[in-house]
Structure formats: structure tokens, C-alpha cells
Structure 1
């Protein structure tokens, strides 16, 4: 554990049960994650706190071995089995979509323009964020020169440089976007737009890989290592990088303890501006990176589906423009987010002055 997990008081007793039962649950057939949330019934949130067990496919009880069944309660705490499909990072790149695909919550207002020259989201075509911009800003296509494309989250500073005038400025995104899932070398070129969207060396080099948190993959016969973030930064020039996130604006702070039910927003390369709700906290999930590689991540946030391939690296904020996390994986059902406090701690950065 890197830091206090900031679990709300009303979930603390459930977190203790989760910690005791998690490994056994993750060893069951089809289970891809365990988290804290609320119980759903008939498509409705009952509001009853529960331990959520995520499965790739729900199967009839008669098709499962007895020791693969998820009990209805654990130490008196209700369980809730949710089918989420396979959780993937670096999903197959998708063609850019209109704003609101895959989802914009009905009760969330359209974003205010963060700058006078910014177009309303209804006026922006689906390919806008896949184009080249200088200065570049959050939400745009970006990527290591050997990948397809991901999303520029925001621009950040070294934590040690504040207060004061930072000497360096970085793009924040995922390891699998900026560091090619551990395969990159420090100093490698980062392109904006990403290669899939036409970015080439040297014309579109906007930054150089500065540092990344290595992803530890599961190896047969070895203890399962825990990851907390899929994150990296690349150093660029001040005049080329903007902290602003399109349709979100400049971040005003960090939300260190986002709660179940919190409405969040992001702008990403593929689905542009979308919103969702946090459905689960303190999630431990197994994420597929392709090529048979799977990595286990702890202390994650889960939201309703708000992303697609190419949105990896998007900065997720609440509706008060406080940073919540860094989007890195998902399925057609859920989106998986690294908590921003863990991203800042592991990379030694700050996302706002």
C-alpha cells in the first residue's frame, strides 16, 4: 500500500472484509475484480452497501464448481456479482466519435467553454481531438512513436518545484500510451497527434519520455504483484503544452476521496467529452494488456462506461474541476481509473499549482 486509501467511514467495515476475502475471490473462475459499492437489483441501485464481485461472464450456478460460486454474503456483508466483460488497457484503437459516445448522463449540464475561443461541444466534429494542435491541451491525441494513440491528460509539474517557478513541464498520460507498456526508453519521442492519427517523427514530436511507473505483470507460478497506476510523463516545452483540458478547463484542485455516486467527466481522443458516475471504490482488478499479459491493480475507481480505445490517459475530474484520476482501462460496461493521489505520489508530480 502506498498511502492511506481514504476509504469513507461508512465503507471501512466492508473494506476489512474485502481485504480478508479478496484473494480467494480473485481465484474463482471468471472473477476479474473485487470492489466496494452498492447492491443493484433489476437494473436499479438499491443503495445497500456491498462487496462487488466483478466477473467477465455471469454463468448459471449449475455450470460452476461449488468452490467457484460467490456466496451471497461474506462475514455478514452482502455481495453483488456484476458482469463487466474483459477489462482491457490499450483497447483496439477506435475511430473518433461524436461527443457523448459512449455516454453522457442525462442530468449533467453541458460543459462551459473553458476559453472564449473554444467551440461548444456540439460544434466540434468527431475528428477534432485527433488533429495536431500547438500549444497542445488535455483531451488531444498523443502517443509514443511506436504505439497507435492515446490521450494527453493534462500538463503537470514536478512536486519538488512547487511553490516556485517550475523548471520543467510534462505531459501526463499512461505508461501504455507514453512508454509503450514498459518497452520504451527514457528520451523516446512522443508525438501529437499519435501515430494512428498521422503523427510522425520528427515533424510532430512534442515531448520526450521522462519517467514512467513500470507495470508488473502476472507470471505463472509467482506471487501476484500489485500495481497502483499505469502512468508516465514526457517533458516538453512550456510554449507547446497547456494545462487546460478541452471543455473541462484548468484543474482547480484534487478530489482525494471520491465517493460512490460522484459524477465525473473527461475529455478524450476518441469519445471527446463524456460523463459517468463512480460505481465502485477500492477496486482490485485484473487488466488485460494483450499478448497474454495481465496485471493486477489495487485501489482503483470504477465508473459507468465513459470511454473507448484511444481515450487512455484522459484526466478524469469531478464537476467542480477537481482531478479525480487517470483513465487507463475499461470494457463495454465499466471504465477503470487510477486515483490521482496515487498518480501524483508515484510520479512525484502535481497536477495543479
Structure 2
């Protein structure tokens, strides 16, 4: 049955997008959701902005209950669109906090870090947060906090735009909404996520497990991954963009708001699994692009190896009053310095133990 469902999705998936209120579908066989509960029946899941009683629709507007012997299941997730928003100033700047372009009255979220084969370190967020939906230039200044949050376009610059993956608005599928930036000063950024800390690794999203994120507007929130391979239409200022191979996180509570775009998404074990780039108007659903696709897209664009940076640090726990420079937790350089200092101390300690053992052996020989 799974093979049959995959064949039908491949053949008819995009045709479903023509129906009213339909914004996407799952690329994998899914279990039916009935009255909020998952039941043991494999179906082709179709995502809509809202469910409409069948008698209010024309016959040609009704999603088929069955396609070539495969049953469909209509799931309401609301309209999916880009997010933008507000908040405060932090130094060193961790991830999960407000950021924007210096020339745009907006605010999104700093996501995480990447590192290339040459050892260069980059900050990571969304294209629509830092690259203005493809309308940007390399070297554009980026600030923290965002301009909408009172960020100063001259005093609060923390990075320069390095590169981004273009978003296609012509109907061709996208897999990521992502941009890279070069930090102005590594001592002014912190490889840690507000309320969480660093990451324990990276991985792929798994169905029906808890995903957590920290974002500009809603802070720390959790939801359940309901789809790990979805195709969705996402609304932007520049038009509607089709995304595929993205994952969906949903909750009964509000877990996302404007300003959370760019938020890092982690699984229950603290592994980085993706970057939040869209959500529904109700705030109960957000969409993420996968870490593996982010790496693959940038490796292809830059022509060299680049990875999600693996760094586990303590979570930042104090904020800085806007415009007051108060060091409240160690910078990335200080964390690396402390690590080197501990290694040196251990080496000295090991050498001393070896020296003491040598003297002891010589003393024993003399006594004999």
C-alpha cells in the first residue's frame, strides 16, 4: 500500500494544489487523523488552510475522497506564510534573538552557525530575513536587534551578508529558505541558543517526536512533528513559493509568531534538525527546512564543503540593557580559550605525574 500511495503522490500530488484552500500535501504515506487522533489507516494527506463543508463547494472543488484506489485525508493547518517581528539587544549575541537587515524595518531570528572546509564561520538565518527575498548584495550590513526592535543601523551591526539560496517564485520547487552572514567580530557572538545552550549534533526530523525551537517572538516552544516530507505553498511579499521536502511541527498551543523566522529547530536530544521559515496565522503550526538540505544547497552554491557547526555550550541566561555594554556570559573566543587552557593544564598535570612516577621508580632501584 505504501508503494501505491507514493506512486499516486508522484503522479497527482501537484494537481491537488489546484483545489480551493489546498496549500500542500505529504510526500509520504501518512496515517489518518480523525477527530484529532491518529488512526491506523494509511492515506494521502492533503493540507488545507481551512476545511469547508462539502455542500458549500462545487463538485469540481471537492477534493477526491479516493485517487486511483488511495484514500485521501484532509488536514487543516491554516495559511502558511513568512514570519517577521520584534525584541532586545544582547552582547555577545546568541542564537534565537532578534536580527534584521540594517536597511529594513523588520525583525527575524538568528538561527545557528555553519563552518566551511577552510575553517570560516558563518551565522545562519532565512533568506527572507537577511537577503530580502533575493533582493540583496553581498556585504549588506546585518544588525542585532532588528531595526523594528530599536536596533541601530550603525552601532548594532554584528555581521555582513555573505550568501544565500535564491527562492524560486516561478513554480519550481524550493527546499530551503536560508542565508549566511560573516560575523564582524567573533567575540561579539555566542555559539549558544537562548534557553537551550549549544547543540549535541545534527540529524533529520522524525515523525511524531517532539521538536523544540527558540525564536525572536515566542521564545522557547515545543510541538510534535506531524510530517517529515511535505510539499507546501508558502506566501511571501514577492509571491507564493512552492517548497518540497520540508517538515511540519504542530501543537494545540501557540508555538510561533511573526519574528520567529530563522529560529533553530532541535529534536528532543538536542540535535539541530532544521531552520524555521514559515508558520500559520493561528500560531499553532510552523514549517522547517532540513539541516541536511541546508548543507547540500550551500555546498552546491559555494562549490565547497560546508556544515552545520557542532558546538555545545551553556545557555545564555542574562540579557544586556540596550546600548549598555555589559559582558554577562563568555564569548565564543573565550569559550575556546578556556577549553585550550584546560587542555594545557591537563597536559602539565600529566607530565608532573609522570615525573613523580619516574622519581619513585629510581628511588626504589637505589634502595634495592
Mapped pair 1:87 → 2:87 = no
Q: Tell me if the contact between 2:147 and 2:153 (Cα under 8 Å) persists in the aligned partners.
A: no
- Partner of residue 151, structure 1: 109
TM-score by length of 2: 0.76
Q: Give the TM-score, by structure 1 length.
A: 0.79
Q: How do 1:266-305 residues align onto structure 2 when only pairs under 5 Å count? A: 266-290=213-237, 293-305=239-251
> Is the contact made by 2:83 and 2:279 (CA closer than 8 Å) also made in structure 1?
no
Q: Tell me the SS of whatever aligns to 1:343.
A: helix
d(CA) in 1 for partners of 2:201 and 2:4? 29
Q: Which has the higher contact order (CA 8 A, sep 6+)?
A: 1
Greater shift after overlay, 338-347 or 32-41? 32-41
CA distance change for structure 1 residues 77 and 243 in 2, over 3 Å: closer, same or farther? farther
- Structure 1: runs of 5+ lacking an equivalent: 1-9, 96-129, 219-223
Deviation at 1:85, TM superposition (A): 2.0
Which residue is 1:55 aligned to? 48
What RMSD over aligned residues (CA atoms) do the two structures have, in Å? 1.8
Deviation track 1:247-284 (CA, whole Å, cap 9, x = no partner) reads: 2221122213x222021101111000000110112111
Go from structure 1 to structure 2 and tell me whether the alpha carbon gap of 1:264 and 1:295 turns closer, same or farther (over 3 Å shift). same
The answer for the alignment partner of 2:319 in structure 1 is none
Given that 2:4 and 2:70 are in contact with CA atoms closer than 8 Å, whether structure 1 keeps it comes out as: no
Determine the structure 2 residue equivalent to 1:321.
270
Q: CA deviation at 1:147?
A: 4.1
Q: 1:259 & 1:11 partners in 2: Cα distance?
A: 18
Q: Is 1:200 the counterpart of 2:152 in the alignment? A: yes
1:45 to 38, 41, 52: 38
Tell me the distance in 2 between the aligned counterparts of 1:210 and 1:81: 41
Q: Is the 8 A contact 1:155 1:241 kept in 2?
A: no
Corresponding residue number in structure 1 for 2:198: 250
Distance 1:200 1:11 in 2: 54
Please identify which structure carries the higher helix content: 2
The 3 A distance-change label for structure 1 pair 17 and 147 is farther
Q: Following the alignment from structure 2 to structure 1, what is the Cα–Cα distance between the partners of residues 57 and 152? A: 50
| Superposition map of 1:67-216 within 5 A | 67-90=60-83, 93=85, 130-145=87-102, 146-158=104-116, 160-161=117-118, 166=119, 168-216=120-168
How many pairs does the alignment contain? 295
Q: What CA distance in whole angstroms lies between the structure 2 residues aligned with 1:85 and 1:189?
A: 34
Is there any run of 5+ residues in structure 2 with no aligned partner, and where? 300-305, 311-368
Residues of 1 paired with 2:97 and 2:124: CA distance?
Answer: 12
